[in-house]
Amino acid sequence: MVVDTATGREVGTAVWNYEHGTEGVILSRDPNLARQHPADYVKGTEVSLRKALANARRRVREFGPEQVIGIDTTGSTPLPVDARGRPLAFQKKFSKNPDAMAWLWKDHTGVAEAEEITRLAASIRPQYLVACGGVYSSEWFFSKILHCIRTNPGVAQHAALWVEIADWIPAMLTATETPESITLGICAAGHKAMYNEEWGGYPDREFLGQLHPTLAELRERMKFKPRTVRHAVGGLTREWARRTGLQEGTPVAVGAFDAHLGAIGAGISEGALVKIIGTSTCDIAIAPDDRKLPAIPGLCGIVRGSVLPGYYGLEAGQSAVGDIFNWFVSYIRPDGKKGTHALLAAAAAKLKPGESGLLALDWNNGNRTILVDQRLTGLLVGQTLYTTPAEIYRALVEATAFGALAIIQRFEEYGVTIERVINCGGIAEKNPFVMQIYADVTGRPMMLSRSAQTCALGSAIAGAVAAGKRAGGYDDFSEAQRAMTGLKTRVFTPDPSAYAVYKELYQVYRTLHDAFGTSQWQGSLSHVMKQLIEIRNRTRSRLS
């Protein structure tokens, strides 16, 4: 996306579909495996930059590629590289080996290793878990590397380093990808590789060595001091200037994850929660880093500078939102041909809060925040002999809103006030019905980010700040955000009478949430969902 630094307007856009795998993802028999081929990143960068510039030229008469003053990219997916910084998958012997490719964020092959890391940290380095919600995820850096070391040492021993794609692309564009000179972003380092200045950076050698000697060796080469997105990694090389039509030396900013740059693009500031709502959600808030923030239990990540410099970046999320509605429509297929999202939402919108007598838990895909427990499942209660699909659809939407409120309350319990919510993503834009319920449930205004591409916009803002004011950009983010971000005019404000009913319903939700999700009292039902999963897994393993 090419963005006007004066207004944040999209000047040009382009999409290029990855050529490898199934819709860009390399799959296998193992449903946990999801990889991408790094060749797609190289060609994708070239083609999409060229096409976006061409698109901008077509749309804006006065546009020329020399006007592009800064560049940035998003992630998150780590890949193994050799001593020269080149992806292992570019070597002929590894070109078809998925373990040598990029391990996509949603690759879950390292489940056992993630549990091992969590266990070891809990026993000898509990501080490591505090900043990541108490559980180290299979989606994260060391789980993936350790899994590769354990299951494919042939690939692992050739990896001089593992680099996050949001760091690797800027390095490629600026020819700084050799392991010694590379500049890493704090976002990936802090949220996924346990980097924290409090304990001297990455996890220590002893800790990693207890997991595997190869990890300890790797740690020796990780002498980086990751930076925030306000920094430039370097300038565009002559080679990449030629390949894209951009000017040589154009600053390339430090990369960060999509949600974190999305929060910038949505205009995040203190008091705001940015919700990027899709199949799941990513919820981002910030808090000034001039005072020490208490550990907030259950958050996925608390990382100084991961969103904006000068602030802690706080990441939370719901494991499924759109996915739950999609499950109901696509798997249950209620109401014959009338069971579309549009028709169910229209019928559900006519109902009043509490009218159905239904209540659901939004855990069909587990609970990322605040329980950090993937072994939780969905629940629906209150069905009669007359319960309708529209009532269930509304109960599912309300459940995700209650889940959102639980996250907001957790923030506030630890001193991070959330006064308003800025929503991005397809569901936020296309479903006023959903947004109104979110406002009525949380008692807070729901705003919509003006851009439909907030992550790319945030990335462009980082590029503009890396370029600086003298080059036509900005010297700080607040100035850049003021100029380049905005909200849609429609704001969903809470209806007081609906809010009153939802306050009561939320208490019931919270009762079930705590009963099934925590073991804080006698007679807790926290074993129920896990027991069902255990019986299910046993039955399925007998069948296969």
Site residues for a second copy per CB under 8 A: 320, 323-324, 326-327, 331-337, 339, 352-359, 364-365, 377-389, 392, 501, 504-505, 508, 511-512, 515-516, 521-525, 528-529, 531-533, 535-536, 538-540, 542-543
Which token pair is 260?
Answer: 């974190």
Which 8-state DSSP code applies to residue 492? B
Tokens of 297: 């239990």
- Whole-number CA gyration radius for the chain: 23
List, as one string, the DSSP characters of 299-355: -SEEEETSSSTTEEEEEEEES-SHHHHHIIIIII-TTGGG-SHHHHHHHHHTSPTTT
Token pair for residue 497? 């009478």
- For residue 199, give the 3-state DSSP assignment: helix
Bridge partners for 284 per DSSP: 274, 315
Closer to a second copy by Cβ: residue 133 or 389: 389
Gap between the Cα atoms of 281 and 404, Å rounded: 9
**Cα 58–chain centre separation:** 33
Asked whether 266 and 485 are in contact (CB, 8 A), the reply is yes
Q: Single out the residue of 267, 227, 229 nearest to residue 251, CA to CA.
A: 229
Q: HSE on the CB side for 153, CA within 13 Å?
A: 5
Q: What tokens were used for 160? A: 């001089």
Amino acid code (one letter) for 447: M
Q: How many residues does the chain have?
A: 544
